Structure 1
């Protein structure tokens, strides 16, 4: 999304926090209800697999309470939406999980977003949202967690609306969310093809695999992003695997709004597509700028095609706009691009056909020696080994995220990139 206008937002939207979020492990003392699209019966009690309900409508109408659990049978298929308005608590979230064997239950439907979470403190896993009106999963509430979910063929696999904050999207698979919602000539306003779209604040996106976020655009040729942030502050995007997306992340804010203090750490980004980028952000001269305080640390990026960009900080870049540390970025195009006074960069290894930025004192332009095109671990002799500069936890979202993409604790000397050796 290059620009999402106020009018577009109004047409699309209805009138773990930064610390580790662990709702799914909380003890539940409530009732467990079962839903089975094939063998269920809405006239049944719903409190056992043998008396399961059949429909999402029955589930949505249930008076769920903190500590309750909903078990949805695998292999089923539903027409959405599933709207969740009840609320749990931090100690007793309301949980949705899968049971049985086979594929995750699939929810689809062109009339609405498939799973709409209006309440707070839900822990949702084991659902698959596909080919929905706009979003597979929409989070309007706070302190909710999505884990182990799937989303595909949507405009946004997961959408955190402006009212959604302190939510977590983790350990999930978001594939081929490759549709546009606005796609017309002119206006610089085409929008769509998001793995995750964050319009809210203080959300965490971690441990996910995000692929195929791109679609044809009348304005831009191709558009899309694994994780898009628009008008969202202090979001943490960390330890994700990104493959074959148009860009990994693009940031913007409409005038009068902010997208400040977002962190991208320990992500691995690869693509075999003919174009792509890792990070796109803007200064004050851009129509959706300035985007202030973005931090990108310990990311590993390999985009070998010619029409590629490692990172771009344009229309008034400065250290207040973008800070980069300990990244390893190899592209076939522009390794990094800045204007104005430039970004604050150090500890990186860069390879590209060209670049326009001032490397930091410990940064180097060199072949990072990745193991392969898709395996971005470092081979012996890599210039990224031991090159990283020391960082406090605030650089990568807090102590809970102080580990590499494989879970290895950080220790000195630090290697640049997402992998420590």
Structure 2
């Protein structure tokens, strides 16, 4: 999904105090009011080994493992149970997780065996490699690859993906419109570079998503997302590290994005909303010539307006001559997009707005064009990053002390953020 040349949209909050209040309690503890992880109730562990297993086994010992996904899919794990896949093994087909755990006793998927071996792989060609219809799953140490739609398709709620991998899919992770309060953290989503729609004409091509958020109140944090880019008839290339469509109040924070076509793009279909999404403390780099950081929209397009988007303390370096920082088009206004404390360097446009413009301030911008009104505390100057791929600040950076508090206690590296004079960007200056 891409707009015309000069794309994007969102809701403005006044100044730092209002931003902090609007964001609520400082993130990093338990965003969206989710309770801390409870002690897991001990249950039964079922083992799965694609080489040495047998579906006639009990599955309750590593020496009596099941063999196939079909056997796992017909099981009925109870809250507190664990399904463990042997490392170094590969399964072709879909893993279907339909049962549900509880907040006190989630159901766990993990890996076992030689820790030096590769993660267990669930692969295509199938529509979804891993489909989670249930709720309260904890899924870790699994690799989903080569699927026709999603590596991980999340349809339930209160599920957590941790330390998973996904590649070679249309979407590394897809969180459906019925799904809410899910978390994707500490995972690697690399080269999800397939298109789901790619036809000449119609301006409707779509695909190549690291993460696709159709649901509400989800958290995407501390992930590495790379290579979300594919050839498109309509746009030349398309793809996004994190695409938001019809999803409200999602948080995308503390992620590293490398060589994606766009970091994030937001839209909605008629009668739906994609409001109140926050992007904070992300580090975004890309070598692609027409890459972009953030694209959002007003009411003058069929997939807008997208209200209340917030971009806070992001660091961006996009050296391409056609690159764009943020884009807010088709009726941009302070109600569409608020930006604070961002550091953006491009080989092209630093930003674009139309209409009454976004609510922007306390930023550092450097590029060949700036097509928006700089806020009173923003500046056009070289951010003095350590390097084009290391977006930490050097002592000469104009981003030091330029920010305002926005409610986040730590930066992308885990360093504390000053409560009085924070630095702009994803990293606080550390001599």
Instruction: Report the TM range for the smaller structure's normalisation.
Output: over 0.9
State the partner residue of 1:382.
397
| Alignment check: 8 A CA contact 1:211 1:245 kept | yes
State the partner residue of 1:7.
none
Higher alpha-carbon deviation: 26-35 or 283-292: 26-35
Task: Work out the CA distance in 2 between the residues paired with 1:38 and 1:409.
Answer: 48
> SS at the partner of 2:146?
strand
Structure 1: gaps spanning 5 or more residues: 4-15, 394-400
> SS at the partner of 1:132?
coil
Task: Work out the CA distance in 2 between the residues paired with 1:322 and 1:383.
Answer: 23
**1:300 aligns to 2:315 (yes or no):** yes
Q: How does 1:209-248 map to 2 (within 5 A)?
A: 209-248=224-263
Task: Work out the CA distance in 2 between the residues paired with 1:188 and 1:203.
Answer: 28
The RMSD of aligned alpha carbons is 1.2
**1:420 aligns to 2:428 (yes or no):** yes
> SS at the partner of 1:250?
strand
State the partner residue of 1:396.
none
| Alignment check: 8 A CA contact 1:17 1:202 kept | no
State the partner residue of 1:165.
180
Higher alpha-carbon deviation: 181-190 or 293-302: 181-190
Tell me the number of residue pairs that the alignment of Structure 1 and Structure 2 aligns: 400
Q: In structure 2, do the counterparts of structure 1 residues 73 and 33 end up closer, same or farther at CA, with 3 Å as the change threshold?
A: same
Task: Work out the CA distance in 1 between the residues paired with 2:427 and 2:197.
Answer: 38
State the partner residue of 2:266.
251
Task: Work out the CA distance in 1 between the residues paired with 2:405 and 2:128.
Answer: 44
Q: How does 1:135-284 map to 2 (within 5 A)?
A: 135-284=150-299
> SS at the partner of 1:138?
strand
Larger RCO, structure (CA 8 Å, separation 6 or more):
2
CA apart distance, 1:196? 0.2
Q: How does 1:36-185 map to 2 (within 5 A)?
A: 36-101=49-114, 102-185=117-200
State the partner residue of 1:29.
42
State the partner residue of 1:347.
362
CA apart distance, 1:17? 5.7
**1:408 aligns to 2:420 (yes or no):** no
> SS at the partner of 2:96?
strand
Structure 2: gaps spanning 5 or more residues: 4-29
Q: In structure 2, do the counterparts of structure 1 residues 209 and 19 end up closer, same or farther at CA, with 3 Å as the change threshold?
A: farther
Task: Work out the CA distance in 1 between the residues paired with 2:34 and 2:184.
Answer: 12
**1:372 aligns to 2:381 (yes or no):** no
Task: Work out the CA distance in 1 between the residues paired with 2:302 and 2:2.
Answer: 10
> SS at the partner of 2:70?
helix
Q: 1:227-280: per-residue Cα shift (whole Å, max 9, x none)? A: 000000000000000000000000000111100000000000001222200000
Task: Work out the CA distance in 1 between the residues paired with 2:255 and 2:64.
Answer: 39
| Alignment check: 8 A CA contact 1:349 1:416 kept | yes
TM-score normalised by L of structure 2: 0.91
Q: 1:294-328: per-residue Cα shift (whole Å, max 9, x none)? A: 00000000001101000000010000000000000
Higher alpha-carbon deviation: 134-143 or 403-412: 403-412
Task: Work out the CA distance in 2 between the residues paired with 1:26 and 1:186.
Answer: 53
Q: In structure 2, do the counterparts of structure 1 residues 402 and 73 end up closer, same or farther at CA, with 3 Å as the change threshold?
A: same
State the partner residue of 1:2.
2
